Each structure stands twice: as C-alpha cells, then as structure tokens.
Amino acid sequence: MAIPQHTIDQILDRTDIVDLIGQRVKLKKTGRTYSGCCPFHQEKSPSFHVYRDKQYYHCFGCQANGNAIRFLMDIDNRNFIDVMKELSSQAGIELPKDNQDNKKLSYKRETVKPQVKPQAQTQEDKNTASKTQEQNTEATPSFEIDPFEAFSQYPDPEHFDPTQFDQTGFVQAPQDGNLYDLLENIAQFYERQLPHSKVAQNYFRHRGLSTETIQYWRLGYAPEDWQHLEKAFPQDIEGLKLLGLIRTSDSGRDFDLLRDRVIFPIRDSKGRVVGFGGRALNDEIKPKYINSPDSEVFHKNQLLYGLYEGRKDRAQNWL
C-alpha cells in the first residue's frame, strides 16, 4: 500500500503526540515541553522530551527521536503500514484503498532539461582558444559537430544538480505526480509571493487581517505574469490543466487562470488544499472573484469554506 505524503501529513496533524506518548510514558509539563524517563533506555533522570507544537520527541540520553509514527514503530517493533492504519483510524482519515483511486489523482510529469548558464569568456580566453585550435588543426581529425559545443549542454558545476541525473548521466524520468501534492505545492508558492507584493499586503492590512491570521488561513498572492505557474512548475503542466489552473485561449496559447489576485486556499474537511479563490486587486477587473473549476479533487457544492480551519481552531480550545 502506497500512502501519499499529504495523507501522512494530515494524520500527523490530527495526532496529539503528547497524548499518544503519555499513554506509554509518564510525562510532566516542564515549560513548553513535556519530559519523562526515556522508554528506549534505562535512566533515573528524565532526559526524554516531547514537543507538542512541533509534534516531535527527542531523548538527550540515547538520541532517540522522531514523530508519532516513529515512536509507535520503535516502541512496539511494528511496521509502517500497521502503525499508519492505527493512527489513521484514530484520526478519522481513510487510507488509499486501491490503485484505481490513485490513478484518478495522478498525472504524467514532464522531463525538464537542466538550464545551462552561459559562460563568460574574456578576450584572452578567446585568443588562447584560437591559437590552440590552429595548432591542433593538422593533428586533429575534423568533426562534423564542434566537440566543445557537444558538451556545452551540461550545466556548469555551480548550477549542477546531481538529483537530475541517474547513474548513466541522463536526466531522470520524473515519477507520476499527485494532484493533492501539486495543490499543496501551489499553495506554498502563492504564500511565498505575498511578501513581494505591497499592493496585496496593503489589501489584507486594510481588511484588518493580522500576520497571524494571514498565516493561519495560508493567504497568498498570484503574480501578474500570465504564465507564472508554468515557470514555477514546468514538470506539472498536465496536472495544472487537470486542476483548471491553466487555460487555453482560442489561439491555442496557455495562460494562468489566477493573475494579480490575492489568493484564498480552499481546504476540504481533512485539511487538504483542493482549490483556490482569487480576488482581483483592481476593482475594475471583472470578475472580481474567481474560484478554481471543479476537478477530481474539488467539488464546490460539497465544500464549505473555512470548515476545516474552524474545527481546528475549536480543537485548540479543547486542549
């Protein structure tokens, strides 16, 4: 069973690690953490600490550390799938049942060639290269393709990314993408754009939204560029089109649906980003509000905006 990363994150988000570990270890609140004697080695003085805000534990004695999943795997000597089934049941989140459901959420990622940064060449370098070429003309057989050009496709060491190549030196074929993972990455992208737009920041400020509120609701900004998503996610064009975030004009040119708008991520009851709402910053632009179209993961008539955030906020008050 393959469990998508976004599902794992949701399960961990709904799991209170202090309550979980507290069932096995006697914990005492010490400042912002909870401490107790480590269950993984014998000790008299507590060196085992649990951090609720980070959903993480660490022992300063034996260096045992991890999240709720790692704790259950180590304490009970259980495998990953077995632990995930237990935690998902407690969190009320369903694990993937079969490959058919995963196929509906998957799309083919495209191979993107690594960009090559042109190398600056001084006049002295050019003269030296010219002399060397003249000296070697008679001794070197002629090439139909310049051998120097043949290797110019490889990036310089400063911009070399080893993860792009397999053991044979060729660009790796990308794995299939997941729509939920792509939506999460897009939400993070829009969040990162907000500090670069004073107009968008002023809009939220005039609406009386604090920095904490903006972060809690994960508000962002979509740049003016008509193809900013294609540039940010060149391997995920097919996924972007399946989500309706890229449209095609009558002339056949692709363009982004949301441009120069403040962004409101739309999350389902499980906390997954499933779509976006965009509000124009210029009141003369019509329509003023645009939402993502329906897709495999987004059905407007089945969602209530803010339901997940409201439940999460109330859950904090119960702790």
Over residues 165-199, the pLDDT tens digits come to 444 444 444 578 889 999 999 999 999 999 999 99
Express each pLDDT in 21-60 by its tens digit.
999 999 999 888 999 999 999 988 899 999 998 899 999 9
Domains along the chain with CATH numbers:
5-97 (3.90.580.10), 179-318 (3.90.980.10)
Identify the bridge partners of residue 290 per DSSP, sorted by sequence position.
278
Q: Give burial (CB, 10 Å; 0-12/13-18/19+) of 10.
A: buried
What is the phi-psi region of residue 218: left when phi exceeds 0, alpha when psi lies from -120 to 50, beta otherwise? left
β-partners of residue 28 are 35
**DSSP element (H, E) containing 30:** strand 28-30
Q: What is residue 110's predicted lDDT score, i.e. its pLDDT?
A: 85
Q: Which of 119-123, 220-224, 250-254, 296-300 has the lowest mean pLDDT?
A: 119-123
- Alpha-carbon torsion (282, 279, 180, 69), positive or negative: positive
CB atoms within 10 A of CB 269: 13
What is the pLDDT, as a whole number, of residue 93?
86
Mean pLDDT within 255-262: 95
Average pLDDT, the chain: 81
Q: Which of 79, 86, 81, 80 is nearest to 23 (CA)?
A: 86
pLDDT of 75-98, one tens digit each? 998 888 889 999 998 888 888 765
The type of residue at 187 is A
Q: At what angle do helices 5-14 and 179-193 cross, to 10 degrees?
A: 70
In this structure, the chain runs to a length of 319
Q: Give the model's pLDDT for residue 317.
A: 56
CA angle centred on 184, ends 81 and 2, rounded to 5°: 20
The confidence band for 133, taking pLDDT boundaries of 50, 70 and 90, is: low
The more confident residue out of 157 and 232 is 232
pLDDT of residue 157: 37
**In Å, what is the CA distance from 85 to each residue of 11, 148, 164, 269, 305?**
10, 56, 34, 19, 29
Query: Would you say residue 289 has pLDDT above 70?
Result: yes
Q: What is the pTM of this model?
A: 0.56
